Structure 1
Amino acid sequence: MQDSLIGCYQAIEESSRKMLDAARMKDWESVVRYEGACAVLIEQLRLRAKSEALDLAARIEKTHIMQRILKNDAQIRYLAEPWLAQCEQHIEGSRLLH
């Protein structure tokens, strides 16, 4: 777990940045791995948020971090669309053969 609540947000942002870098390289296995890391970090954040509050400066920083995470997520989704469509076609083709 991170040293502070804001540290949890920063770790999630870092993982989302790594996901985006992997998506840009079309390294979908790494994207999935970093997505799993994000899920663990988000759960840690939820637990920590129950007992720790953010001061005003940290809440402002949290807002900026969340905006960057959402921007990364949008870019990852855009980059993943062709790959996901290809996966769907492959799955549909496999179903037709069975």
Structure 2
Amino acid sequence: MQPEEPILGDGLSLVSILSPLSDFAALIAGYLQEIWGFLIFIGTASAFLVVLGGAILWLTNTNQKWGRSLVFTGIVLAIVVEYFILFPPSFVLP
């Protein structure tokens, strides 16, 4: 004897509703997996440019306070990007 599937209001089973949702989630996870390398590249380039711009402002005495904050913000961004390089998300749905 097999257990009955839960029936919703209009005679729809719970499985028939969740199947398209899980297919959609798998599709989105696949897209994220494909563009992950590009996102890492953008993060790395952004961190480099922020540190470079901050160093130029800081060392040329144009705006030392803003330049110093840009350098430290770029370092934090680089650390976050490096974390995601070392420990990437699995993109696997349960």
User: TM exceeds 0.5?
Assistant: no
Bigger fraction of residues in helix: 1
Q: Which has the larger radius of gyration?
A: 2
Q: TM-score, normalised by structure 1?
A: 0.42
